[in-house]
Amino acid sequence: TTMGYSFEECSATAEWLLSQTKIRPLVGIVCGSGLGGLAEMLKDQTAFKYSDIPNFPQSTVHGHAGRLVFGMLKGKACVCMQGRFHLYEGYPIQKVTMPMRIFKLLGVETVILTNAAGGLNQDYKVGDVMIIKDHINMPGFAGNNPLAGPNDERFGVRFPSMSDAYDRELLQLAQCVGAELGFGDFLREGVYCVLGGPSFETIAECRMMNRLGADAVGMSTVHEVIVARHCGMRVFALSLITNQAVMDYDSQEKANHEEVLETGQLRAEQLEKLVTNMVTHIEHNNNDA
């Protein structure tokens, strides 16, 4: 289809990658703003600059390196996106989510997505880690959905369910691993609301989202989750809360990207421990997806 990336185009990219590395990843990891260091966890790395991968989009955001890193994490073969794509870069939504279809065609069965997000829940503090238990897809309300347009059954069904988008077992696993690591006092679980960006949200928008049940707000992840679930991969996602969204009109606070990247450094090491320990528990899932 002219819309985004056809099954054939995605297959060609995946075949190219599979011809360049012996690693056959079971787990895919997407690194959010300032969290690119997660890719350095991988041992025996084979890395490709996005610009060297046929048909792959290019990263344009500070804090997003633009490399696809294959490697081993505690003996598990993984592939990690160091830098992801966003609607606000001007990419069509199918381009933003194409890497999920590449992951699928590489043989990935479980995707772990990370992002930086603003805290809407008033109990949240900067530096908290929110395990995403569900999402609100604002761009989707307006029809900007990565699955819009002709459906290719080779990826998945026309009308996929999303009530089971965030894998319950992986949610529980994250809570257990987090507790074992002593992360209990900054580990949360909540609803992530995506906006298109690049402008940060207004105060009225923050109050609305909070009233609607959103605990954190960001500009990514949901589109990838929808495509990953469409083609049958299990999904786990978390948000690093990099600032408190501004909720009242007499506040002097202003969201800014620098603060987002700084907080990434603060928590990066603990996030790496959480993700690494989770990966050790992720098994090859035999049930056909």
Ligand X SMILES: Nc1nc2ncn(CCNC(CO)CO)c2c(=O)[nH]1
Size of the site for ligand X (CB under 6 A): 17
Distance CA 36, CA 39 (A): 6
- Residue of the chain from 132, 170, 193, 217 that contacts ligand X (CB under 6 A): 217
139 is a contact residue toward ligand X (CB under 6 A): no
242 is a contact residue toward ligand X (CB under 6 A): yes
117 is a contact residue toward ligand X (CB under 6 A): yes
89 is catalytic: yes
Number of other CB atoms surrounding residue 249 within 10 Å: 8
- Residue of the chain from 171, 173, 247, 255 that contacts ligand X (CB under 6 A): 255
3-state SS, one letter per residue, for the chain: CCCCCCHHHHHHHHHHHHHHCCCCCCEEEEECCCCHHHHHHCEEEEEEEHHHCCCCCCCCCCCCCCEEEEEEECCEEEEEEECCCCHHHCCCHHHHHHHHHHHHHHCCCEEEEEEEEEECCCCCCCCCEEEEEEEEEHHHHCCCCCCCCCCCCCCCCCCCCCCCCCCHHHHHHHHHHHHHCCCHHHEEEEEEEECCCCCCCCHHHHHHHHHCCCCEEECCCHHHHHHHHHCCCEEEEEEEEEEECCCCCCCCCCCCHHHHHHHHHHHHHHHHHHHHHHHHHCCCCCCCC
33 is a contact residue toward ligand X (CB under 6 A): yes
Chain positions 150 to 209 lying near ligand X, rule: CB under 6 A, are: 200-201
Measured from the CB atom, the residue of 38 and 117 that comes closer to ligand X is: 117
218 is a contact residue toward ligand X (CB under 6 A): yes
Q: Which of 115, 121, 220, 239 is catalytic?
A: 220
**Closest distance between ligand X and the C-beta of residue 218, in Å?**
4
Q: Are the beta carbons of 106 and 18 closer than 8 angstroms?
A: yes
6 is catalytic: no
Q: Which of 64, 135, 223, 230 is catalytic?
A: 64
86 is catalytic: yes
Measured from the CB atom, the residue of 108 and 138 that comes closer to ligand X is: 138
Contact window for ligand X (CB under 6 A) among 104-112, 122-130, 168-176, 255-263: 255-263
Q: Which of 100, 116, 174, 209 is catalytic?
A: 116
33 is catalytic: yes
- Residue of the chain from 17, 39, 61, 93 that contacts ligand X (CB under 6 A): 61
235 is a contact residue toward ligand X (CB under 6 A): no
Q: Which of 243, 245, 268, 278 is catalytic?
A: 243
Phi and psi at residue 111, in whole multiples of 5°? -115, 130
Give me 202's structure tokens.
């207004």
- Residue of the chain from 35, 228, 235, 260 that contacts ligand X (CB under 6 A): 260
Interhelix angle for 168-180 vs 257-281, to 10°?
A: 100
161 is catalytic: no
278 is a contact residue toward ligand X (CB under 6 A): no
59 is catalytic: no
Task: Report the interface residues with ligand X, using CB under 6 A.
Answer: 33, 61, 86, 116-118, 200-201, 217-219, 242-243, 245, 255, 257, 260
Catalytic residues: 33, 64, 86, 88-89, 116, 219-220, 243, 257
